[in-house]
Amino acid sequence: MSSHHPHGHDHDHDHDHDHSDVPSDLALRVKTLESLLVDKGLVDPAALDTIIEYYEHKVGPRNGARVVARAWSDPAYKTRLLTDATAAIAELGYSGRQGEHMVAVENTAATHNLVVCTLCSCYPLPVLGLPPAWYKSAPYRSRAVIEPRAVLHEFGLDLPEDVEVRVWDSTAEIRYLVLPERPSGTDAMTEEQLAALVTRDSMIGTAVVSAP
Q: What does the pLDDT look like over 104-153, one tens digit per residue? A: 999 999 999 999 999 887 888 888 988 899 999 999 999 999 999 999 99
pLDDT score at 21: 46
Lowest mean pLDDT among 8-12, 32-36, 159-163, 164-168: 8-12
pLDDT score at 120: 81
Residue 137, C-beta contacts closer than 8 angstroms, at least 6 positions apart: 20
Question: Mean pLDDT across the stretch 175-181?
Answer: 96
Q: Is the pLDDT of residue 16 over 60?
A: no
Which of 2, 24, 95, 121 is an active site residue?
121
| Domain range annotation of the chain | 2-6+22-204
122 is catalytic: yes
Which of 2, 20, 95, 122 is an active site residue?
122
For residue 152, give the 3-state DSSP assignment.
helix
Residue 109 per-residue DSSP state: S
Q: Give the residue with greater pLDDT, 42 vs 188.
A: 188
What CA–CA distance (Å, rounded) separates 11 from 122? 10
Give the C-alpha distances (Å, rounded to integers) separating 122 from 7, 56, 125, 142.
12, 15, 9, 14
Exposed (0-12), middle (13-18) or buried (19+): which is 104, by Cβ within 10 Å? buried
What CA–CA distance (Å, rounded) separates 77 from 84? 10
What CA–CA distance (Å, rounded) separates 119 from 66? 29
Residue range 42-89, pLDDT digits in tens: 767 777 677 666 555 556 789 999 999 999 999 999 999 999 999 999
For residue 167, give the 3-state DSSP assignment.
strand
Q: What values do phi and psi take at 135, rounded to 5? A: -65, -35
CATH architecture of 2-6+22-204: Alpha-Beta Complex (3.90)
Which of 2, 20, 95, 117 is an active site residue?
117
120 is catalytic: yes
Residue range 94-104, pLDDT digits in tens: 876 665 689 99
Are residues 205 and 78 in contact, defined by beta-carbon separation less than 8 angstroms? no
Which of 120, 137, 142, 184 is an active site residue?
120
210 is catalytic: no
